[in-house]
Amino acid sequence: MATQDVEALIEGGKASAAPPLGPALGPLGVNIGAVIAEINKKTGDFKGMQVPVTVKVDTDSKEFTISIGTPPASALIKKEAGVNKGSGKAKEDFVADLKIEQIIKVAKMKEDALMGATFKAKVKEVVGTCVSMGVMVEGVPAKEAFKMIDDGNFDEKIKARKTELSAEEIKEQEEERKHMQEELKDKREQFETEAKRIVAEMAGKDNKDIRAKLKEAQLPEEIINQFAPKEEVKKEGDAKKEEKPAEKKKVIK
């Protein structure tokens, strides 16, 4: 049995016969419409995200199988949270608050890739990723959500693999997300003001001393990198010139 693989990166739920799939599948004689329909069915949960897809075609029977890769758990969490990135100070600044249903949804999407022996353990793995991203779960820091899961607070929803949110829950979550983003914006403005003040006061000082002072003020690394003076990088040729002793001019008498 001869087979041929066609690999492509497709936006979830939006595969079509246009490039890259159509031209690659056409010569194989496979039912392109059927392939597209199945890909869109399998990637529907990844709308707005790029998903790796592999179509394995039996070149004799024209039968096909489709395997779908999944984005990293962190990317799925950001999509559920409606944010572009996690927190720069995950232990202190929170960027979003997810419901347990959304955690369950991510665990279902990544189920085959997660290491947990049970689905409940896989849900906890996703919560672990939330810890490092500054994403809360059910109104508490993700670390505290571990205990809530262990105590059985969400057993019924986890067992049922519940992923749907009510319209009211979605509205409340959006309002909470906006509130968190406003707080983060205010904090960033405060950090930037403090960084500018320190850099101005230490103008002319050694760059390392300025960076040390910024760190002492407990400013996020992102802010420090943005406002700290950049170290001058000497070119290799310049260094050699400095090391080379000055040549004595030959005096002709």
Instruction: Kindly compute the dihedral angle of the four CA atoms of residues 20, 23, 24, 28, in this order, to the nearest 10 degrees.
Output: 150
The structure tokens listed for 145 are 């959500």
Q: What is the pLDDT of residue 28?
A: 92
Q: Give the C-alpha separation, 229 to 221, whole Å.
A: 14
Spans of the chain, pLDDT less than 70: 1, 231-253
Q: Give the C-alpha separation, 98 to 229, whole Å.
A: 38
Q: What is the pLDDT of residue 234?
A: 52
Q: Give the C-alpha separation, 11 to 22, whole Å.
A: 15
Return the closest-CA partner of residue 90 out of 227, 228, 195, 222: 222
Return the closest-CA partner of residue 136 out of 164, 176, 108: 176
Q: Domains in the chain and their CATH numbers?
A: 3-68 (3.30.1550.10), 73-165 (1.10.10.250), 171-227 (no CATH)
